[in-house]
Every structure is written in structure tokens, then in C-alpha cells.
Amino acid sequence: MRTEVPERPDVPDGAGRPRRPSWRTLALVLVPLAAFALLLAASLGRDPRALPSELVGDPAPAFALPNLEGGGIVDLEALRGQVVVVNFWASWCLECRDEHPALDAAWSRYRERGVVFVGVLFEDTIDDALAFAGEFATDWPLVDDPGSRTAIAYGVFGVPETFVIGPDGSVTAKRVGPVDYTWLTAEIDEALRAAEAA
């Protein structure tokens, strides 16, 4: 049995009682709004300070930089075949103070095994840097980076930043911010293992 639905009188748009928004109109407003909200939510969830480590896996940019104390240079090319830890630092950088004990402990543990540490000075004066090195009795090579050309070549955002370079001369790990002993030794061990396997 069919039920007769009384036909609605044809009310022209905009005449008589206010028209209820149709689903189409609603969708026209809501869909873009939802899309925008989703986009916003996805973007706001990202940490703008999480920085990409572009160089990992790539050849480490070459450098030959003068020793801070004068006399001689440290040439990365000459260290090929060894694991190299390149640490960008500055005396004004508080986190560099925080990480110094970890670097020092790792340096003591690995220096006999041919691992080389290089501290590259970043935006600092040589006097301040030498005072810092004296205070901490830093005894790995420290070099100056005139014009920050090496820092720029390594894509350094700030200090401290630390790169581990494998014996084949490619960057195997990068750390933004202070290193801790566990991370550093794990990365050095891995680079050394790769060296032995090769």
C-alpha cells in the first residue's frame, strides 16, 4: 500500500519561512573547514625544532683547520681510515659544558683504538676557547673555523653538534644538542665494527 505524501507547496527560495540549510550547503562549508582543520592539526603536531640530519650517509665535507693553540692543522682527509668524532662547540655554550664529561670519557676510552676527536670552534674568540679548554683540561685536538665555513658545510644550526665519521669518510651519525656517553659510545662502536668488517 502506498502512502500518499502530501506535496509541499512550491515555496520559492527566500520567500516565506527561513530556509533550512541543505546538506549540500552544509557540506560546502564543513568539508573545506574540516580539511583545513586536519591540515592545521597535522602541521601543529610537528616539532619545528626537530631538525633533519641531512648529511648522515653522505661523505663528510672535507676540512683542514688550524689548531687553536697554533702550529699545525687538522686535515680530515689525512684521517681517512679512522673513526673521527667532529664536535662543534663554543665556550659560551652551556650545553657544551654539560656534554664535556661524556666527550672526555669517550675520548679516554677510544683514543688508544685510533678514534680521533676534533673540536671545531663555532662563533667564538680563540682566547675564550682556550680558557674553556684549560678549565676542562681538554686534550683532544681543537681547531678554529675561520668564517664558519666548515660549520656551514656541515649544516650546523648551533652548538653543540656532533658528527661521527666512519673510516670510509662518510658521516654515520649526527647529534644536535649535547651528546651523552651511551649514544656516543654506541655510535663509535658501530663505526668501528663497520671498519673491521670492511
Partner 1 sequence: MSGRGRLWLALAAAVVVVALAAVFAPGGRGGDTPDERVRDIASGLRCPVCQNLSVADSPSRLAGEMRSEIESQLEAGRTPDEVRAFFVERYGEWVLLAPTREGLNLLPWLVPVVGVVLGVGLWVYLLRRRPAREELA
Residue from 1, 5, 15, 198 that binds partner 1 (CB under 8 A)? 15
Residue count, binding to partner 1 (CB under 8 A): 22
- Selected from 9, 12, 70, 71, the binder of partner 1 by CB under 8 A is 12
Q: Shortest Cβ distance from residue 53 to partner 1 (Å)? A: 8
- Per DSSP, 104 falls in state H
Give the 3-state DSSP-derived string for 115-181, with helices as H, strands as E and coil as C: CEEEEEECCCCHHHHHHHHHHHCCCCCEECCHHHHHHHHCCCCCCCEEEEECCCCEEEEEEECCCCH
Applying CB under 8 A, which part among 7-15, 75-83, 110-118, 184-192 lies near partner 1?
7-15
Integer Rg of the chain from CA: 30
Q: Please, which residue, 15 or 41, has the CB nearer to partner 1?
A: 15
CB proximity list for 158: less than 8 A, separation 6 or greater? 93, 122, 176
Q: Judged by CB under 8 A, which of 69, 109, 130, 155 binds partner 1?
A: 155
* Binder of partner 1 out of 66, 104, 130, 148 (CB under 8 A): 148
Q: Is 63 in the site for partner 1 (CB under 8 A)?
A: no
Position 66 contacts partner 1 (CB under 8 A): no
Distances (CA, A) of 132 to 11, 16, 124: 85, 83, 11
Nearest-approach distance from CB 147 to partner 1, in angstroms: 5
Residue 123 interacts with partner 1 (CB under 8 A)? yes
Query: How far apart are the C-alpha atoms of 1 and 182, rounded to whole Å?
Result: 80
Residues in touch with partner 1 (CB under 8 A): 12-15, 51-52, 54-55, 58, 61, 123, 147-149, 151-158
